[in-house]
Structure 1
Amino acid sequence: MKIIDEKPYYKMSELVEETQLSNHTISFYHKKGLLPNTVNTSRNMKYYPEITITVLNLIKYFKDNLSFSIDYIKELFDYYKIDFDDRAELILQSIQMISSEIKNPVFKKDLEKELLDEAIRLDLVDDREIYFKTEVEVLKVYKELRAYEISSQLIEEYVQTSKKLALLERELSTKVIEKTGYLPEVLVLDILNSFKPYIFNRHTIEEFKKDI
């Protein structure tokens, strides 16, 4: 590690050691525009800012756990205008990336207005001009629930319970920071992508079993 302008920077060999990715792979990601800018020394040695390790871990997670292609990850990075200067913001952006697929965009004007207005009021989706695949699927499920005359109150309770779960997730992360002074980005994604869905669905199955 080298200190440049009072900030830590890493050589390629150090990135390889920290992330277990090959020199070739890291160079490829850099050429694709997925990594922050490097600093070149007088010896023409290239140094990468510390946040590069976080970025590489996120890319590795997206590929290995979510089967995202490099081209799609690049598309995500461009859409969310990835912040390479703020690690906390970068982790937050990564949560957005795994929560909503930016595929098959649909303009707000092309969606059923009454349905969308209700979904926005119930806090199922945000109010914006373009919606993507995951959000359109949420609207589709909500429409089907309406067809069964599911009350808005029950949907509101579902959303409120989700918000309470989100607070617990934040508390889990806060406890990790209190213990270590550092929040592992992969742990955050594992809580959202594996830990939460498995536990929630496990207990949902138990509830359904009671009716059988």
Structure 2
Amino acid sequence: MKIIDDKNYYKMSELVEQTALSNHTISFYHKKGLLPNSLSTSKNMKYYPEITITVLNMIKYFKDNLSFSIDYIKELFDYYNINFDDRADLILQSIQMISSEIKNPISKKDLLDLNVEEAIKLDLIDDKEIYFKTEIEVLKTFTELRRFDISIQLINEYVQTSKKLAMLERELSSKVLEKTGFLPEILVLDILNSFKPYIFNRHTIEEFKKDI
């Protein structure tokens, strides 16, 4: 590690050691524009900012756990205008990336057959002009529930419960931060991608079993 302008920088060999990725792979990601800019010293030695480790861990997680292609990861980075300067913001952006697939964009005005405005009021989706695959799936499910006359009150209770769960997720992460002084980005992604869905679905199954 080398300190430049009071910031930590790493050589390629140190990135390889920290992430278990090969030199070739890291160089490929850099050429694809997936990593923050490196610095070159007078001896033509390249150094990468410390946040590069977080970015590499994110990319590895996306590929290994979510089967995202490098081209799609690049598309995500460009869409969310990835922030290489703030680690906390970068982790937040990574959560957004795995929560909503930016595929099959459809304009809001072309979704008149779905209950868009009602879904926005219930805080099921954001109010914007373009919606993507995951958001449209949410809208379709919500519209189908309304066709079965499921009450707005019940759906609102579901949303409010989700918000409480989100607060608990943040508290879990905050406790780790308090204990270690460092928030592991992979732990945050695991809570969102596997820990929460598994526990939630497990208890959903238990509830449905009561009707059998």
TM-score by length of 2: 0.99
Q: Which amino acid aligns with 2:66?
A: L
Which residue number in structure 1 is paired with residue 121 of structure 2? 121
Distance in 1 of aligned mates of 2:125 and 2:181 = 33
Specify the SS of the correspondent of 2:115: helix
Question: 2:85: which partner in 1?
Answer: 85
Q: How does 1:1-212 map to 2 (within 5 A)?
A: 1-112=1-112, 115-212=115-212
Runs of 4+ in 1 over 4 A off after TM superposition: none
What is the Cα deviation at residue 113 of structure 1? Answer: 6.8
Looking at structure 2, the residues matched to 193 and 111 of structure 1 have their Cα atoms a distance apart, in angstroms, of 28
What displacement does 1:147 show? 1.0
Q: 1:150-170: CA deviations, max 9, x gaps?
A: 000000000000000000000
Name the Cα RMSD after superposition.
0.7
> 2:100 is matched by which residue type in structure 1?
S
Partner secondary structure for residue 35 of structure 1: coil
- 1:72 CA drift (Å): 0.1
Query: How far off is 1:114 after superposition?
Result: 6.7
Q: With structure 1 as the length reference, what TM-score do the two structures score?
A: 0.99
Instruction: Extract unaligned runs of 5+ from structure 2.
Output: none
Whether contact under 8 Å (2:62, 2:68) holds in the other structure is yes
State the distance in 2 between where 1:174 and 1:123 align.
25
Q: Give per-residue Cα distances to partners, 1:44-85, cap 9 Å, x unaligned.
A: 000000000000000000000000000000000000000000
Aligned residues: 212
Residue 103 of structure 1 aligns to which amino acid in structure 2? K
Distance 1:160 1:23 in 2: 46
Cα deviation code 1:25-50 (max 9, x no counterpart): 00000000000000000000000000
Alignment-mate amino acid for residue 11 of structure 1: K
Structure 1 unaligned spans of 5+: none
State the percentage of identical aligned residues. Answer: 83
Residue identity matched to 2:196:
K
Distance 1:114 1:132 in 2: 14
